[in-house]
Amino acid sequence: MTSYLTVPATATNTGVSGVAEQCFANARIVLADRVMTGAVHISGDRIAGITEGDHVPAGAIDCRGDMLLPGLVELHTDNLERHMEPRPKVKLPHVPAILAHDGELASVGITTVFDALRVGSMVSDKEHWNRYAREVASEILGLRARGALRVRHLLHLRAEVCSNTLLEELSEFGPDDLVGLVSLMDHTPGQRQFRDLSKLRTYYSGKYGYTGAEFDTLVAARTDLGDRVRIPHEQATVSEAARLGATLASHDDTTHAHVTRSADLGIRLAEFPTTPEAASACRDAGIRIIMGAPNLVRGGSHSGNVAAAELAENGLLDILSSDYVPSLLLYSAFRLAALWDDLPRAIRTVSAAPAEATGLHDRGRIAEGMLADMIRVEPTKEAPVIRAVWRGAERIG
């Protein structure tokens, strides 16, 4: 891993074993169940121990009372797409886009990300449903192998069941491609996220310039396609997720029937249920619930779906995702902390909970033996201010 920002010489020393040792002292450490003033001791890229008190040993980094949080774990982000296509039909080279995306994530405290890539394309629509996942995945993995990325990158394949090429695209990925998450999506107009056709019509006319007649034709064509391929595509995607060793998620469950179907398919992670009914059914089925930070911060969904705050107030929110605004992930966790009056619980939604949901048991908590992925944060009235970010004890932001 290439170092991008040098850790001050006073913060690191090398013991007789040659393993780098560091100490971050006089910090308010956010543990799994409490906030404690103390020091975090690092050996190599792991947390070696935690001690209580405000003493600052010689050579330690004095955090001056700032908070130390575990690095954030992001399961669902569309941020890379924004860098690759910052305007409709304006496509940029992928590698600088990936590097910009990576740097942005590091700057906001995200130390592990599942880069969301859509698999399943449309062959005739004029919007951006082009085929791209395999090419971009190879570029991400190549940059990762060369040590060019600051953040720990894994892949999240968003399987669009209402598409022409889903199975062919899934077959292009193998167990060595670091696919950690596969989500079943169905964007057929008139259901799930897009059950309100008036809002979808506004979106398509504004972003892609569709006329009323063009939109009606699109709705009819996609409804027919979904009716033909939904079930076989769902079943095949479940099999492909197992082949890839990936966690399986649902997307935009809206009804109790949707959740029942998810549970029958073995899904234990639900991205953005759109109604209280679906969220309650997820809880009853033992399916963890992910909601978007922009929804929480804005006070509601831009698609007219259930507000994340409503679910949080009713104990129906387990994990937060930045969705399309990376800077809101930490900010929204502090908003949740105020709502719940429980900072450790809120921080778990952006660290330990997403890590555990995807089988990453070596991160997401400040605890002995865990990866030293940490954020130094100064809470302010307006927003938490990030002072430094470390991945495996190496400073990246």
DSSP result, 74-123: EEEE-HHHHHH-SBTTB---HHHHHHHHHHHHHHTTEEEEEEEEEE---S
Residue that wins the pLDDT comparison between 226 and 139: 139
Question: Within 10 Å of residue 41's Cβ, how many Cβ atoms?
Answer: 19
Show Cβ contacts of residue 34 under 8 Å, excluding neighbours closer than 6 positions: 344
Q: What share of the chain in percent tops pLDDT 90?
A: 76
**Quick one: 72-362 is in which CATH superfamily?**
Metal-dependent hydrolases (3.20.20.140)
Angle ∠(319,302,120) on CA atoms, nearest 5: 75
Cα–Cα separations (whole angstroms), residue 359 to 211, 283, 362: 45, 20, 9
Q: 36-45, 121-130, 337-346, 364-373: lowest mean pLDDT where? A: 121-130
Indicate the pTM of the whole model: 0.88
- Mean pLDDT for 163-179 is 95
Residues 350 and 328: beta-carbon distance below 8 Å: no
pLDDT in tens, 210-238: 787 877 777 777 777 767 778 999 999 99
Q: What share of the chain in percent tops pLDDT 70?
A: 88
- pLDDT at position 13 is 45
pLDDT in tens, 252-278: 999 999 999 999 999 999 999 999 999
Could you tell me which CATH number the domain at 9-69+381-395 has?
A: 2.30.40.10
Under DSSP, the state recorded for 192 is G
pLDDT in tens, 75-105: 999 999 999 999 877 899 999 999 999 999 9
- Mean pLDDT for 125-131 is 66
Show Cβ contacts of residue 51 under 8 Å, excluding neighbours closer than 6 positions: 38, 39, 41
- Mean pLDDT for 306-327 is 97
- Mean pLDDT for 271-290 is 97
**Could you tell me whether strands 67-70 and 288-292 are parallel, antiparallel, or unpaired per DSSP bridges?**
unpaired
Q: What ranges do the domains of the chain cover?
A: 9-69+381-395, 72-362
Show Cβ contacts of residue 194 under 8 Å, excluding neighbours closer than 6 positions: 187, 188, 200, 303
Question: Within 10 Å of residue 202's Cβ, how many Cβ atoms?
Answer: 12
